Structure 1
Amino acid sequence: MSFDKDSALWLQKIKTIDLPKGNSYILVKNFESMFALYFKINSIPRYLLIDRNGKVFNINAPRPSKPELKKNLDKLLAN
């Protein structure tokens, strides 16, 4: 998800990192988008963990560099 204000820059960036368009989304209303409001996102970066059934497991997951993330993932995969 991207909160970029300039969609052209966003498209350029996903080409640079070779990310297919269908795997990245721009939220043109930024923090006022339905996605941001639903998940109460008021700053970025923000990490969410969602289980295989689409249920939110952790609305404020640890950064990938934090050791707590492994605990969250282990718990998530055990279910």
Structure 2
Amino acid sequence: MLPQIKKKLKINLERILKDAHLICLITDLVIRMRKIPGHATAETIKNYLENIINHFEFDKTKITGVVCDQISSLRS
């Protein structure tokens, strides 16, 4: 039953993303329910976000911004 619910949620989210004019992502240090190992650099967060985004079918050029918490150790 859970796989069916997950599939339905993904389909609904993809529909919302396809219909959106612009998309802004908001994240914290826990991404996709996985803690980022080591230091949360800008590059590490970017790689995690790209991996997650690529699981969904929508126009990625609609992403206009990404907001992250104000962690003091975040560096590029």
Point out the structure with the larger strand share.
2
TM-score, normalised via structure 1 length = 0.23
Q: Larger relative CO (CA 8 A, sep 6+): 1 or 2?
A: 2
